[in-house]
Structure 1
Amino acid sequence: MTGEKPTAWASWLSLAEWWYNTTYHSAIQTTPYEALYGQDPPLHLPYLAGASPVASVDRTLQHREVLRQVLKFHLTRAQDRMKQMADKHRSEREFQVGDLVYLKLQPYRQHSLRKFKNQKLSPRYFGPFPVEARVGPVAYKLSLPPTARIHSTFHVSQLKKPVGSDGALLKTPIRILDRRMVKQGNHAAVEVLVEWGDTFLEDATWENLHDLQQRFPAFDP
């Protein structure tokens, strides 16, 4: 707004303050004007040119109306710009109980779901894991392996379907390369080295055999 007339920035302050105080604020569920005075702000009636017989008053009020319209235009444009920027990072996602989804995590901060030799170059998505329940409108609870040491509820922005608009394919196990016994708590468990479809052999990962059979019932290890 002040870019067009840098020296006249002070003339915008009163109008900007009025707009702020008479705009609904979600934090207080009302307008600052009503919170202070206990009543709705007065309705603004546009000034009609020539309504005042005093020439100086008429010019001042006409100039005020012009400033108000320009101020409203710039504020609306700024709001639209911010909304467009925010919408670029939003996508409508909804899952059903039982759906398989990928979970986005930082590999260098997460080691209980899967271990990689090269954390920096490893994939950013883990899974897929079945959706166990929906928690509110934007969160889901996943069925994670018992070895996972993280909370099982995640925001929808951290999840994506195995087959989405980006063409990501669901990874399926091809064969078992090796087996080993590991200790989990007070009991022993079987882990298998799985070769996945559409990946390199060096991308094979150790998976809990019981969890693998639950995620891929048709796969016979």
Structure 2
Amino acid sequence: MLRACVLEFKGSWDEYIALMEFAYNNQNHSSIGMAPYEALYGRKCRLKAAQDRQKSYVDQHRREMEYEVGEKVFFRVSPWKGILRFGKKGKLSPCYIGPYEILEKIGPLAYRSNPSHILRDDLVEVADNLTYVEESVRIVGYKEEQLRNRVILLIKVLWNNHSSQEATWET
């Protein structure tokens, strides 16, 4: 576990050593049949109890939903900061997309929707690290911004794979 932490946090792993110690001491070990914290202090860590309590609060407002073939549903999408999806960005980007018709019930919570509604991803070449290269198409406009005692020249750039409403102001 420590090796994974060192590889993940590279030069700043020493800042996270306390979190690693906490994680190590509160997970069950097969050799002793309990967590090291429990073996050392003789009482259970209260983390699991707190997690269970929080889960019970959330479960009060959650309801199990089952759908039938032919019903229409909306898919919940979670917007990522800096990633543009579904033609809109910012606060007004959609939380739900659809409606999609359910064609087949695969499992208790798994369904197959209409294949013609699958979002195409062939428009953007995505690298293995989930990044892609943005290329500017043309400059749409110019403007100057006054910032205290400095003037900043801004240009409005239209990017490929985006519509004209999504041109951005760049320095």
TM superposition score normalised by structure 2:
0.35
Calculate the TM-score normalised by the size of structure 1. 0.29
